[in-house]
């Protein structure tokens, strides 16, 4: 006996040392981990080219770097003054690439760039344009314009630009709709809000930089002279969203974790009436949580905030193992603990295994967020169970004793004996639930990607309203040109632009953008330069062209000079555009990734209608352009999510099959497995029907929640269907306590503001209660 | 009103002639059955809900060797919609709706296979183009009888009587004064018959309007 004790103690020491090393290792990994809160974890790992584009745009596309600012609460003049003061303060801040509030700050540079380079930029510049006939029609167009109400604008230009290239360029650049103005600053349509559009230097997924940018805006607003107590500052944009999402997730996760821990601790204290039991009970939980985070960090390179939030809820399940140990091995001698590991551990081990089988299917998900949840659960549960089995018994003090729960156990026993009478009413309830599910089958799933977003509806509404004020529609349709160099993508853009122009002429499109508009390819610039005739030839042609026009050829002397200069001017480079507002456009539309270049050509729908995408696709099919992709961003993101949802449904079914397979392999009795599965299936069906009645549409996280109901519930079903028919009162008591802690952990999530956490909470909390009750109801009759 | 000027040039001291001036100032009013002044004119113009007219316009531009003549029709719907449709020598249109100005010109694009005609559209928001707005707002404001809007942008003087009046508008903004010298709008009753624009650089335009 003595030697047995000694080996036990030796083994115990070894286990404790290994465990400590493991915990320290986890701590080191976690301290080096990166934590994220953006939606990228819920986007696919192996995207299609179109999805890739979507992802890049979400991460650091122009749209991701825009912050829309609104100022309201006072009168329009105060708003305008504030807008100017804020803009002035921020223009000197290097965190912002551009600060626009409608003030014509870059107008002079813009005009100078366009005017000085008009013969390299204007698509009308061709050899024909400078023939006698070409000059004749161009000059006569200019005279018509001169006589029109807009004539005043071009009067001073005529001697230098008789062919109207500047007008051509301005016409192209001013095609988009602009906000209204008050005192030279942008205001909303109703005039009640001043508007600013800011572009940050940092990408939208750099949440720290976005937060700094937001603080800078707030600071500029707080220190503006015209600020009154009534004035209000509004901000929106993808960067703002990620900052608020991070703040929400951070505060929610820490608050929820705290509440869960307090709740579970109170429960444990209530049951065990012992502080040492409380502390010891949390050891497997903490070990599991640390292992989960470390595993995710190692496996994915970063840990998502949602995973952490999920982790706090999983405390409720991991603590079950300690409860099983404490309650089920009630006597205070080592024999009983050994007894526990012999008699109860196999059942718990099987419970852990079913959970692992269920969650392992998530590991296969193409979406890192889902896979993270899977890995976290598996690692967390394995470690929590292992620590409970091999470390915790050695740490229990020899006089460890918890409060006697046998009275509770006995009460439960008598309840359970009557539970089987409820079988038929339960079957009826299940039939009703099935009918409800069939009735709701069409709208049971929420297939909008926004259902995953941690951004609240109020923030989305503000964003929509500011965007509408700004006249900035979402970029939905894009033509994407890819190539190996800037020159090649610009050349492709120019070819695409020719095709798109035919659609604009037909009225299919209102317009489109192209980087080649602001920065033509070198080949195009060379061709335009080559179209310009030399001075003597041009002079002769001008004289001929103006013969029957009401204008003297002598008027165009400055034109001759400009053409001569343009013929030998240096070609435009990206650097030439830097001081103009067009730099922002080029920056957004021309993207370099290592050795790969992409040019984006966003399309604008005709007012009040949608773009006929069929015509666009047909055009590109017949034009046979290589390296060109037409992308519908909204369709792509919806496809992405529905693919995601379908995958998750398949994986969950796979998990279920894996669990059934495992149970069949262990028990080799289909009837026995059916008895275990029935209460779990019943819990899933009832919970889903309940959610449907309450109008909650199911998202992927509800699905993960259902998987968790099966995983947790399998423990109960296994205990109730033990082959040795041994269901002691204290086992029953342990199950009730385990159930209560799980409900506490997940029930707290149901009150979260972050939709994904809330979804899991409302599914798991009622689901596990039902799983316990159904397990009792459907258990074999002969026990106790 | 003219007599006032004559009297003020005489040797009488101002104090002594004041009652006389007062009296003389009443003459134009007394000569009419009812009180007619700029407010009344604006009130009358504001009553017009829509109108349709033909115009002939002649523009003299120093850069060009000959004046440009055009003709077409004008359509007005109170208070913010004005269309000018030129028929000769080439079709073109200008449509003003609130702040939006859409100018559509017939343009020809030379190509070796023959000239291609197409229409070129310019969409301007007047708030962004004060130089254009200064012309258009004078006409729109007068048509709408919007005295407040006119007084915001111009120094206004009215001469004549209800049967033959001329409204002279001089921009109050000095930047606009550098472009526009004066806009004279003449008419009878609630109908505009003539718009003469004199630009500071000497260019001018005269539009004669015949109401249907």
DSSP per-residue string spanning B125-192: EGGG-HHHHHHHHHHHHHHHT-HHHHHHHEEEEEEEETTEEEEEEEESSHHHHTTEEEEEEEEETTEE
Contact predicate B177/B171, CB 8 Å: yes
pLDDT of residue B9: 34
pLDDT of residue B12: 41
CA–CA dist A685, A687 (Å, integer): 6
Q: What does each C-alpha distance from B63 to A138, A410, A549, B59, B154 come to in angstroms? A: 16, 109, 12, 11, 28
> Residues A678-699: pLDDT tens digits?
999 999 999 999 999 988 888 8
**Distance in Å, alpha carbon of B38 to nearest chain A alpha carbon:** 27
pLDDT of residue A707: 85
Record the tokens describing residue A301, joined without a space.
């390179």
Chain A residues closer than 8 Å to B97 by CB:
none
CB nearest B92 (choices: A143, A144, A158): A144
pLDDT of residue A770: 94
Radius of gyration of chain B (CA): 21
Residue B29 located in a structural domain: no
pLDDT of residue A558: 93
Record the tokens describing residue B4, joined without a space.
């006032």
Question: Domain of B81: which CATH number?
Answer: 2.50.20.10
Residue B6 located in a structural domain: no
CB atoms within 10 A of CB A91: 15
pLDDT of residue B193: 93
CA–CA dist A580, B87 (Å, integer): 41
Radius of gyration of chain A (CA): 35
pLDDT of residue A784: 42
Are B68 and A147 in contact (CB < 8 Å)? yes
Record the tokens describing residue A709, joined without a space.
């109901």
Chain A residues closer than 8 Å to B101 by CB:
149
CB nearest A149 (choices: B90, B103, B127): B103
Residue B57 located in a structural domain: yes
Give percent of chain B with pLDDT exceeding 70: 83
Residue B13 located in a structural domain: no
Record the tokens describing residue A558, joined without a space.
């400055």
CA–CA dist B140, A410 (Å, integer): 93
Are B112 and A180 in contact (CB < 8 Å)? no
**Distance in Å, alpha carbon of A521 to nearest chain B alpha carbon:** 24
Quick check: bond before A51 cis, omega within 30?
Answer: no
- The closest of B106, B109, B105 to A131, measured between CA atoms, is B109
Contact predicate A145/A151, CB 8 Å: yes
Structural domain boundaries enclosing B62: 38-211
CA–CA dist A33, A617 (Å, integer): 45
pLDDT band at A88 (very low <50, low <70, confident <90, very high): very high
Chain B residues closer than 8 Å to A551 by CB:
63-65
CB atoms within 10 A of CB A422: 15
pLDDT of residue A783: 45
Q: Left (φ > 0), alpha (ψ -120 to 50) or beta: where does A23 sit?
A: alpha
> What ipTM was assigned to the predicted interfaces of this complex?
0.78
The upper half-sphere exposure of residue A697, i.e. CA atoms within 13 Å in the direction of its Cβ, equals 12
Residue B163 located in a structural domain: yes
CA–CA dist A379, A386 (Å, integer): 11
Average pLDDT, chain A: 84
Record the tokens describing residue A691, joined without a space.
């959610």
pLDDT of residue A772: 92
| B101 in reach of chain A (CB within 8 A) | yes
- Through-space distance between the first and last CA atoms of chain A, rounded to whole angstroms: 33
| B163 in reach of chain A (CB within 8 A) | no
Are B65 and A178 in contact (CB < 8 Å)? no
- The closest of A241, A213, A217 to A227, measured between CA atoms, is A217
| A550 in reach of chain B (CB within 8 A) | yes
How much is the average pLDDT of B41-45?
90
How much is the average pLDDT of B44-50?
89
Burial A247-264, CB ≥16 within 10 A → b, else e: ebbeebbeebbebbbebb
| B108 in reach of chain A (CB within 8 A) | yes
| A152 in reach of chain B (CB within 8 A) | yes
**Distance in Å, alpha carbon of A182 to nearest chain B alpha carbon:** 9
Contact predicate A152/B178, CB 8 Å: no
> Residues A62-72: pLDDT tens digits?
677 888 899 99
Residue B60 located in a structural domain: yes
**Domain total of chain B:** 1
pLDDT of residue B4: 34
Residue B165 located in a structural domain: yes
pTM (2 decimals)?
0.68
pLDDT of residue A527: 95
pLDDT of residue A359: 83
> Residues A195-208: pLDDT tens digits?
998 888 888 778 88
> Residues A460-519: pLDDT tens digits?
888 878 877 776 555 678 888 889 999 999 999 999 999 998 888 888 888 888 899 999
> Residues A697-754: pLDDT tens digits?
888 888 888 888 888 888 888 888 876 655 678 788 888 888 888 888 888 888 887 8
Residue B124 located in a structural domain: yes
| A126 in reach of chain B (CB within 8 A) | no
| A128 in reach of chain B (CB within 8 A) | yes
């Amino acid at each position: 006996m003595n030697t047995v004790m000694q080996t036990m103690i030796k083994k115990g020491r070894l286990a404790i040392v290994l465990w400590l090393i493991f915990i320290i290792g986890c701590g080191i990994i976690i301290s080096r981990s990166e934590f994220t809160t953006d939606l990228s974890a819920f986007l696919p790992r192996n995207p299609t080219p179109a999805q890739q584009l979507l992802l890049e745009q979400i991460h650091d596309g122009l749209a991701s770097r825009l912050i829309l600012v609104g100022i309201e609460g006072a009168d329009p003049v105060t708003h305008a003054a504030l807008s100017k003061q804020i803009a002035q303060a921020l223009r000197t801040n290097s965190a912002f690439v551009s600060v626009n509030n409608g003030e014509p700050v870059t107008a002079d540079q813009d005009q100078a760039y366009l005017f000085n380079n008009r013969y390299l930029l204007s698509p009308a510049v061709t050899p024909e344009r400078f023939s006698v006939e070409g000059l004749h029609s161009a000059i006569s167009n200019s005279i018509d314009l001169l006589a029109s109400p807009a004539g005043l604008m071009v009067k001073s230009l005529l001697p230098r630009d008789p062919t109207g290239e500047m007008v051509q360029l301005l016409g192209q650049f001013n095609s988009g709709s602009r906000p209204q103005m008050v005192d030279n600053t942008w205001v909303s349509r109703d005039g009640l809000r001043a508007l600013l559009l800011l572009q940050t230097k940092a990408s939208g997924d750099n949440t720290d930089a976005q937060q700094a940018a937001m603080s800078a805006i707030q600071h500029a607003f707080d220190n503006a002279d015209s600020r009154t107590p009534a004035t209000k500052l509004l901000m929106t944009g993808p960067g703002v969203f990620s900052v608020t999402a991070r703040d929400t997730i951070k505060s929610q996760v820490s608050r929820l974790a705290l509440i869960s821990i307090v709740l579970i601790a109170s429960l444990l204290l209530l049951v065990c009436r012992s502080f040492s039991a409380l502390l010891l009970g949390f050891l497997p939980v903490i070990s599991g949580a640390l292992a989960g985070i470390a595993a995710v960090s190692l496996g994915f390179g970063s840990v998502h905030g949602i995973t952490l939030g999920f982790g706090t809820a999983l405390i409720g399940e991991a603590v079950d193992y300690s409860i099983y140990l404490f309650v089920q091995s009630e006597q205070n001698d080592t024999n009983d603990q050994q007894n526990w590991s012999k008699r109860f551990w196999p059942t718990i081990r099987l419970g852990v295994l079913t959970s692992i089988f269920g969650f392992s299917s998530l590991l296969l998900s193409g979406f890192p967020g889902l896979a993270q949840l899977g890995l976290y659960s598996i690692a967390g549960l394995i470690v929590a169970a292992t620590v409970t089995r091999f470390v915790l018994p050695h740490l229990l003090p020899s006089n460890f004793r918890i409060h006697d729960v046998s009275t509770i156990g006995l009460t439960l026993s008598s309840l359970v004996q009557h539970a089987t009478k409820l079988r038929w009413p339960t079957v009826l309830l299940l039939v009703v639930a099935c009918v409800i599910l069939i009735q709701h089958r069409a709208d049971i799933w929420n297939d909008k990607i926004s259902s995953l977003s941690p951004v609240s509806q109020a923030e989305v509404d503000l964003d929509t309203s500011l965007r509408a004020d700004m006249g900035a529609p979402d970029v939905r349709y894009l033509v994407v040109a890819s190539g190996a160099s800037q020159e090649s993508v610009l050349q492709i853009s120019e070819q695409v632009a020719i095709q798109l122009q035919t659609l604009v002429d037909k009225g299919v499109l209102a317009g489109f953008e192209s980087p080649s508009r602001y920065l033509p390819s070198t080949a195009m610039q060379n061709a335009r330069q080559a179209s310009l005739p030399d001075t003597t030839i041009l002079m002769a042609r001008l004289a001929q062209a103006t013969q029957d026009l009401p204008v003297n050829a002598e008027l165009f002397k400055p034109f001759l000079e400009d053409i001569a200069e343009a013929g030998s001017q240096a070609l435009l480079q990206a650097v030439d555009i830097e001081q103009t507002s067009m730099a922002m456009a080029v920056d957004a539309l021309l993207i370099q990734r290592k050795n790969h270049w992409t040019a984006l050509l966003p399309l604008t729908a005709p007012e009040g209608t949608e773009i006929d995408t069929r015509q666009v696709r047909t055009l590109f099919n017949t034009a046979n352009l290589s390296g060109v992709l037409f992308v519908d961003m909204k369709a792509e993101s919806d496809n992405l999510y529905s693919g995601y949802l379908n995958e998750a449904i398949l994986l969950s079914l796979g998990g279920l099959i894996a669990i059934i397979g495992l149970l069949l392999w262990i028990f080799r009795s289909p009837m026995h497995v059916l008895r275990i599965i029935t209460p779990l299936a019943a819990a899933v069906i009832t919970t889903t029907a309940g959610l449907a009645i309450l109008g909650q549409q199911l998202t992927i996280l509800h699905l993960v929640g259902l998987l968790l109901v099966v995983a947790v519930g399998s423990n109960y079903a296994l205990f109730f269907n033990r082959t040795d028919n041994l269901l002691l009162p204290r086992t029953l008591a342990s199950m009730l306590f385990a159930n209560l802690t799980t409900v506490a952990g997940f029930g707290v999530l149901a009150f979260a503001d972050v939709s994904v956490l809330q979804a899991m909470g409302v599914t798991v909390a009622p689901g596990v209660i039902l799983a316990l009750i159904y397990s009792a109801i459907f258990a074999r009759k002969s026990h106790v | 009103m003219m007599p006032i000027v004559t009297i003020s040039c005489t040797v009488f001291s101002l104090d002594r002639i004041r009652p006389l001036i007062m009296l003389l100032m009443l003459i134009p009013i007394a000569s009419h059955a009812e009180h007619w002044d700029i407010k009344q004119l604006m009130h009358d113009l504001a009553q017009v809900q829509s109108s349709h007219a033909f115009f002939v316009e002649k523009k003299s531009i120093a850069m060009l060797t000959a004046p440009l003549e055009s003709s077409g029709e004008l359509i007005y719907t109170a208070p913010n919609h004005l269309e000018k449709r030129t028929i000769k020598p080439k079709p073109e249109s200008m449509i003003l709706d609130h702040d939006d100005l859409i100018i559509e010109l017939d343009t020809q694009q030379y190509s070796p296979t023959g000239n291609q005609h197409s229409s070129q559209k310019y969409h301007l928001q007047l708030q962004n183009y004060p130089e254009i707005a200064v012309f258009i707002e004078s006409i729109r404001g007068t048509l709408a009888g919007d005295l407040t809007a006119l007084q915001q942008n111009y120094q206004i003087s009215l001469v004549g009587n209800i049967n033959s009046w001329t409204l002279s508008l001089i921009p109050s903004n000095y930047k606009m004064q550098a472009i526009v010298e004066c806009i004279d709008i003449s008419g009878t009753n609630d109908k505009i018959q003539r718009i003469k624009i004199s630009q500071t650089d000497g260019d001018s335009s005269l539009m004669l309007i015949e109401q249907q």
